[in-house]
Amino acid sequence: MNVLGIESSCDETAAAVVSDGRHIRSSIIWSQVEVHAPYGGVVPEIASRSHLQAIVPVVRQALAQADMTLDDLDGLAVTIGPGLVGALLVGVQFAKALALGTGLPIVGVNHIEAHFMAAFLDESREPPRFPFVALAVSGGHSSLFRVDGFGRFSLLGRTLDDAAGEAFDKAAAVLGLPYPGGVAIDRVAEGRNPDTIRFPRSMIKEAGFDMSFSGLKSALRRHVELLGHPPSDDEVADIAAAFREAVVDVLVARTMAAAGASNVRDVVIAGGVAANRRLRARMGDAAARAGISLHAVPLALCADNAAMVAGLGHQYLFGSLADADCPRGLSMDPFIRMTATGG
């Protein structure tokens, strides 16, 4: 069964074709990074207009790369939230129009669930075993979930202020590094000693699994101000390494604590920040010590993409959730209907 997925929740316009829920036949991503870079972050109105320009050629490229036409498709899946409303509107309305024109079944999926369920698209290894704990960490989200099955997940903890990716972007701006900040910090921090500066690890020992990164961001700003001069390249690299280590410490500690409390054997990390080299290495070490299997979503699937949308859409249309008696599908009337009870 071939499902076309469409993703437009933030600043990437993406389309992909996935067969039988696991096999990626094509994946096209039109990035808007260069458009938003001068502003140091995503501008919602600009993102929406860029999606309008990109959606048709991106879908055409995804079909061409898969060597398919619309006649070869069995269903459609589209991200319906969370995300920027104007950006979501472009993808949802396009997908609804395509469904009307072709008669194909359509389902809306939760963007966050799609991120951590992308672990099932990694054909190089066995998929995670239910139940598992998932860390979804990006520029807009830093949340921990217990996942008991497709469409069955519950929130364990989340950031109470900045998302980890947002904290990286703001830290990079203070250090004079380019946008996106997470990529820039990961690059300059590599090989540096993270122990030269000790930044705070907020809430790392408190009960529960919530997180906080706003105090860390403020601590970095104060450190730079107290230098009394613009930091040199070496100082920027050391500060970046120390900041990255503080973020990673919190993410690893909270994830391992949630896994232990949930008594699971598998952990999934997903989202844009899951591409961070230090996070992948530290989480792998911690998981190994705890006897837990780590499933780090492949790098190509960490950023927003439509393969994750199509893969999850298959489960709702043709897989384990196809006959579920719950309002997960996207009807022609509501704009946004979340796809899972935990969404």
pTM of the predicted protein model: 0.92
The residues with which 143 forms a beta bridge, in sequence order, are: 136, 158
Domain ranges in the chain are 2-117+302-317, 128-297
CA distance 185 to 248: 13
Q: Cis peptide leading into 82, omega within 30 of 0?
A: yes
Same fold, 2-117+302-317 and 128-297: yes
pLDDT cut 70: percent of the chain above it: 93
CA distance 297 to 121: 8
128 has pLDDT over 60: yes
Average pLDDT value for residue range 242-249: 98
Q: Name the fold adopted by 128-297.
A: Nucleotidyltransferase; domain 5 (3.30.420)
State residue 332's pLDDT score.
Answer: 34
For residue 142, the one-letter residue type is S
Residue 321 pLDDT class (50, 70, 90 cuts): low
CA distance 155 to 163: 15
Average pLDDT value for residue range 31-50: 91
Give Rg (Cα) of the chain: 20
State residue 237's pLDDT score.
Answer: 98
253: tokens are 């500690």
CA distance 142 to 273: 9
Q: At what angle do helices 44-65 and 85-102 cross, to 10 degrees?
A: 30
State residue 124's pLDDT score.
Answer: 86
pLDDT cut 90: percent of the chain above it: 88
Q: Angle CA(9)–CA(312)–CA(69) in degrees, nearest 5?
A: 85
Q: Are 75 and 322 in contact (CB under 8 A)?
A: no
Block residue for tokens 């952990």: 267
Average pLDDT value for residue range 261-276: 97
Residue 41 pLDDT class (50, 70, 90 cuts): confident
* Long-range contacts, 280-288 (Cβ 8 Å, 24+): 282/248, 282/249, 282/252, 283/251, 283/252, 283/255, 286/252, 286/255, 286/256, 287/256, 287/259
Q: What is the pLDDT of residues 205-233, one digit of tens each?
A: 899 999 999 999 999 999 999 999 999 99
State residue 335's pLDDT score.
Answer: 35
30 has pLDDT over 90: yes
* Domain 2-117+302-317 falls under CATH 3.40.367.20: no
